[in-house]
Structure 1
Amino acid sequence: MIHPDAPWKRIWDLLIFFAITYFAIEVPLRIVLHYKIGAEVALYERIIQLFFMADVVLNFRTSYFQERVLITQERKVAIRYLSSWFLIDFLSAFPFDLFGGFFYQYFGLTDTLRILRLLRAIKVFELFRSLRLLAMGGNEEYQYKALEVINPITFRLTFFIYWTGLFAHWVACGWIKLNPMFLADKDGTTRYIRSLYWSVTTLTTIGYGDIVPTTNIQTVYTMCVMIVGVGIYGYVIGNISSILSNVDIGRVKFQEKLDTINAFLKYKKIPNHLSNRIRAYYINLWEYRHGIDEKDIWQELPTAIKIDISLFLHERLISVVPFFREATEELKREVVQELKPMAFMKGDLIFREGDVPHNMYFIAKGRVDIINEESGKTLTTLREGSFFGEMALVDDGLRTASARAASFCDLYTLAKDSFELVLQHHPSFARSVKEMARLRKIESKMKLKNYKVKRRA
């Protein structure tokens, strides 16, 4: 399956975007001005159609994200595509002009079926996201996400200008179609420019009145364009007012923090690979936590509220651990107070095989690979809601494997010292935990013994 964030896929989306824009501009012009294209242009259009057909095939092979989880199952990908963009993509890619005689004979249609290519312009909404991510370049995860944090307003305005310009072009073509005698003695370029002038003045509600409708259908068309123009005008004013009156304070503070970090990195002449990791860390913090520092919030909250919120947020995490599963609510309330947030970047080593253990870990978001250092093989990959390193709380042995972040990880840790304080308050629970640890040791020794026997054999 194709990863949706693969650099070459973004470049492909950029090519498709330009192809869609070309047809969105050229097809209405050709229909209303009735000009002929040369053999060379026709060849280019046929190549673009091949690109559209290839894009349909690629979309059946492109995975997608659902709630930050990458979906790679072919059946789910196909169902999602068939229920969303497939029909539009197929109609815009199908070479109706090659079967013009057939469609004219049986359906009374002409080569104006090429207008179906305009349907694909709707997909520009989705392609704009690809262009926004592509603009950062490179193939690192932080580069694809950085622009959404740093400069979102620019792309919103660019998107609005693009669609407004395209709509004005369509309105101008519609005016020529409804008024075939409009400047009939002039060349096509002059007719289009004057029609575009009428379109812009009408949409912007200026309307000098030098070009006016003369028939009922032209009058109705003009009124509809005026109504849309008022909507566009209101949309622009509303957005500007919203931007000025509802500035995202959190985003501004985060941007200031990024500026400070960039100045620090430049002043200290930190190497690029380390600088990129630092920026990636803060950008991911914004992506997952929106720049919120949990420690500051916890310090301000009353103890009772702090305990209730911690229990609500983390009870599911600690309940998956065997020796917490049957614990009383009172004990769980004590445990959740001791959980500390911690973040790791993709590729960071959380602990290494042979280390002295001090914490166990709960995965709130992300994936963690458990690795055998000797062979370098990944033993298992843990996901959201999982835990690891729990024997550090009940055993004095060293780490038996390494743990490495497979993506940006939002973890919570429980320190061994904190856990021992909880055990002192609950003697019966402490006895059951020790018994579980004893059985776990016996089980581990039996596995190790069986492994050695198999190796000798």
Structure 2
Amino acid sequence: MKLGDKIHYTEDLTSREINDKGNDIDLQVILGITIDPEPYEKVLLKKGEHEEQNACIFGALRDIKSTAIYSVRSICHRLIIRNNSIVKRYWDIIMELILAYNVITTLFFLAYEYPTGGMLITDIVCWVLFIIDIVLTFYTEQTDEKNNSIKNFVGIANLYIKGWLIFDLVAIIPLRSAGYEMAEYLLRMFRLLKLSGVIDITDGTGISYLLSYFNFGRREKSGKITYSYTSKIIASLIRLFITIIFTVYFMGCFWYWFQRIVSNYKYSSSKEGVDENTFENAFGLADMQSKDIALRSSYYMLTTIATIGYGDFMPRNVYEMSFAIVAMLFGVTLFAVIMGNFNSALTYYTEATSAVDCLGELNLWLDSLEIIHGKIDKKLRTNITDHFKYYFEKDRLKNLAKNYWEASTPENLISIDQQYVSSLPEEIYNQILQNLYSDFLQNFKYFFGSSKVKYAIIPHLQPRRYITNELILENDKEINELIFINSGSVSIGIILNGEHQTLLLCEDGRTIIGDYPILTKVKNRFDYLALRISEGFAIDSNTFYTILNIYFKDDRNNLLAIAAKRESNLKRLLNDYIKRSEFNLTSIIDVGKNFDIVIPKESGKGENMDETEVAKDLLELAENGKSVDFKTKNILNIVKNAGELRRKGYEKMFL
């Protein structure tokens, strides 16, 4: 069909060619409707306009739909409560406290008496808060088993449905309103499964977040809580102690509830018809207050599961005897495990903090030295004892420590050859080190990153402590150790006129001392001063350099880049400090090993002059009242002996 041919539109909007030559093509009747024919190019134009119009309509609808979806998603995204939100932190504290209260009171209500008055009102308030918590959970960011963050409703709902939703819903069914109080309290027992999270005071949420306000654990800016090694041991002891108390309380409540349930059974009554063959009636507990009954019931369960059995309380019928048998079988085992863990944790804490045996061996060794070589200076002996007492208390590695001085080859520095762990897989060994030094790795995560070099370094770490105003590392001194300051306050600066001038203040520890000089084999340029008691760990410099240079060359470059950046920042701060300050000649001599003397342009001299020319020009400048500028370089390249300068010109250099 040519462009000039004519076509007609039919009612179904399809085009047809007109081939009837005998008829008047100017007017045709098709399907009963008269339609004027029109040129093909005009039809194409209209068709294009029609398609363009449809495209605009559908595009607009699509844009509207996309905008609506985006708006809805944007609103939903804003509604999601983030894990690091302060509101969520406080809500977790409230809900953990309410959960603990609800579990304790539910056991009390089930065993001894139903709530009335103020306790009933409090119980209803707790019930409402649990409902609110269920709703908020659908709007709260979650993490899956791979520790991936989930921030969408579908993902959160799926995770919650597969997890705690069913238990949470069952625990809030208000059966009490229908007269089934006991059934409601029994269903609430599902909340016992969540109780382990409440007594875990090192998980960084809820109660543990509250305790961080009392300096139990250090709160990061992100909201994460990190704990020291000693804090974790103390926390484990507290958790075991709480577990023992709650186990006894739970068994006591459950026992008393059970003996009341079976009180009217066939074998619970005496032959005389008097119902004395029950625990409650036999020992006159029915007339006591609920709190007194709870104390006696818990006491009886404690003596039973601890296999003490004083005989002042005992089961009175076959049902109670059956319960006591089960309690002794399972309760004794559970109680023994808990007590065993408690004793182990207590022993480990004592060994980790007191180090009595180690100090005893040290004193015996010092005594043997005095027998052979004579009396040791009292102050020296005290310093040795104090040093090793702290060392033994803070040494986390114990038998896991590697003695670098015993290594015959570099391979010995990184090999796993310590007793007890040599047969473990490397992953398990690394997890042990990571748990022992979790706070250390958190503080220096920017330094180690994801590299495995940390697992090679940790076995060589030794505890260090620096008292207030102690000079940790002095300018131009040999670097023997790489020091990681874990806590405390350290000033990095220079000493002028006998006083320490601060360039950079590290108020919360977390600074590394000596990595740049060790990695570059240059002398240290700065002074590191402990402003208050500072604690950390140290590794021998040669050991650190050997491990990096042989086994972690790529990581060595990364660590060197971090160290160089820190060193560059310190030099910049030093240069800025010098420009802001005025120095006399004594100051020049003090900092001479760190700076170049720069002769002003009007002297017509350059920097590369011998010391005689420098001294002569400095004296001339001083006599003329001209100032002397400094910049960060090494003055030893120019001036090696400033004695004459010090004798003749220092009084004139106060400019």
TM-score by length of 1: 0.55
Matched-pair contact (CA < 8 Å) for 1:173–1:195: yes
- 1:286-312: per-residue Cα shift (whole Å, max 9, x none)? xxxx97979866523496x52xx55xx
Distance (Å, rounded) in 1 between the aligned partners of 2:544 and 2:492: 34
Structure 1 residue 209: Cα displacement? 2.8
Is 1:232 the equivalent of 2:338?
Answer: yes
Cross-structure match for 1:221: 326
Q: Which residue is 2:363 aligned to?
A: none
* Conservation of the 8 A alpha-carbon contact between 1:173 and 1:192: yes
Once the two structures are TM-superposed, the CA of residue 47 in structure 1 deviates from its matched residue by 1.4
In the TM superposition, residue 172 of structure 1 has moved relative to its aligned partner by 0.7
2:209 to 92, 108, 133: 133
Q: Does 1:56 align with 2:134?
A: yes
2:193 is matched with which residue? 122
Task: Kindly indicate whether the alpha-carbon contact (under 8 Å) linking 2:490 and 2:505 is maintained by their aligned counterparts in 1.
Answer: no
Please tell me whether residue 169 in structure 1 is matched to residue 249 in structure 2.
yes
Report if the CA contact (8 A) 1:136-1:146 is conserved.
no
Structure 1: distance between partners of 2:246 and 2:311: 23
Distance 2:94 2:234 in 1: 21
1:76 Cα offset (Å) = 2.7
Classify the secondary structure of the residue corresponding to 1:179: helix
How far residue 95 of structure 1 moved from its aligned partner, in angstroms, is 2.7
Q: 2:296 aligns with which of 167, 172, 194?
A: 194
Counterpart of 1:177, as a letter, is W
Residue 90 of structure 1 pairs with residue 195 of structure 2: no
Deviation per residue, 1:10-51 (Å, 9 max, x gap): 22112111211222111122222234412x332221211111
Point out where structure 2 has 5 or more consecutive residues left out of the alignment.
Answer: 1-79, 261-277, 353-394, 398-435, 441-460, 469-484, 494-499, 513-535, 570-655
Query: In 2 relative to 1, CA 208–270 (structure 1 residues): closer, same or farther, beyond 3 Å?
Result: farther
- Alignment RMSD (CA, Å): 4.4
User: Are residue 207 (structure 1) and residue 355 (structure 2) matched?
Assistant: no
In 2, the alpha carbon distance for the partners of 1:50 and 1:270 equals 60
Question: Residues 80 and 299 from structure 1, CA distance in 2 versus in 1: closer, same or farther, beyond 3 angstroms?
Answer: same
Check conservation: 1:205, 1:230, Cα contact below 8 A: no
Secondary structure, in 3 states, of the residue corresponding to 1:151? helix
Match of 1:113 in 2: 184
The structural deviation recorded for 1:168 is: 0.9
* Counterpart-to-counterpart distance in 2, 1:119 and 1:77: 21
Unaligned runs of 5+ in 1: 102-108, 283-289, 315-335, 353-457
Q: Which has the larger radius of gyration?
A: 2
Are the counterparts in 1 of residues 175 and 184 from structure 2 also a CA contact under 8 Å? Answer: yes
**Alignment length, in residue pairs?**
305
User: Whole-Å Cα distance in 2 between the matches of residues 49 and 6 of structure 1?
Assistant: 24
Question: In structure 1, what residue type is equivalent to 2:559?
Answer: K
Change (3 A) 1:205 1:266: farther
AA partner of residue 184 (structure 2): L
> Secondary structure at the residue paired with 1:62?
coil
Counterparts of 1:48 and 1:32 in 2: how far apart (Å)? 20
Paired residue type of 1:237: N
**In the alignment, which residue of structure 1 is the partner of 2:545?**
299
Higher relative contact order (CA 8 A, sep 6+): 1
Amino acid aligned to 2:212: M
Cα shift at 1:52: 0.8
Question: What is the match of residue 116 of structure 2?
Answer: 37
Q: Quote the Cα distance in structure 2 between the aligned partners of 1:292 and 1:61.
A: 46
Distance 1:255 1:11 in 2: 36
Within a 5 Å distance, the mapping from 1:385-424 to structure 2 comes to none
From the superposition, tell whether residues 94 and 179 of structure 1 become closer, same or farther in structure 2 (CA, over 3 Å): closer
Q: Percent identity?
A: 17
Superposed CA offset, 1:148-205 (max 9, x none): 5561122222222222222111111122123333234431332221111112233444
The CA deviation string for residues 220-260 of structure 1, in whole angstroms up to 9 with x for no partner, is: 23423223222222222233345556873364968756988
Deviations along 1:304-324, one digit per CA (max 9) or x if unpaired, are x52xx55xxx6xxxxxxxxxx
Could you tell me how far apart the structure 2 residues matched to 1:85 and 1:296 are?
A: 53
The answer on whether the counterparts of 1:3 and 1:62 sit within 8 Å (CA) in structure 2 is yes
The secondary structure found in structure 1 opposite 2:337 is helix
Q: Distance in 1 between matches of 2:131 and 2:501?
A: 47
Aligned position for 1:340: 559
**In structure 2, C-alpha distance between the alignment counterparts of 1:207 and 1:270, rounded to whole Å:** 71
Report the CA distance between 1:280 and its aligned residue: 5.9
Q: Secondary structure at the match of 1:26?
A: helix
Alignment of structure 1 residues 308-457 onto 2, 5 Å: 310=553, 338-340=557-559
CA–CA separation in structure 2 for the residues paired with 1:270 and 1:34: 70
1:248 aligns with 2:396: yes
User: What does residue 87 of structure 2 align with?
Assistant: 8
Provide, for residues 343-369 of structure 1, a one-character-per-residue CA deviation record: whole Å limited to 9, x for no partner: 69xxx99x99xxxxxxxxxxxxxxxxx
Cα gap change, 1:300/1:68 in structure 2, threshold over 3 Å: closer, same or farther? farther
**Match in the other structure for 1:22:** 101
Aligned residue identity for 1:223: M
Partner Cα separation in structure 2 for residue 178 and residue 337 of structure 1:
67
- Partners of 1:27 and 1:184 in 2: how far apart? 20
Q: 1:199 to 1:255 in 2, by over 3 A?
A: farther
CA distance in 2, matches of 1:72, 1:126: 22
TM (normalized to structure 2)?
Answer: 0.40
- CA distance 1:81–1:300, shift in 2 (3 Å): same
Distance 2:99 2:334 in 1: 23
Distance 2:160 2:83 in 1: 13
> CA separation in 1, counterparts of 2:560 and 2:140?
34
Aligned counterpart in structure 1 of residue 157 of structure 2, from 52, 63, 78: 78
Contact 2:303–2:310 (Cα < 8 Å) also in 1: yes
Offset of residue 89 of structure 1 = 2.1
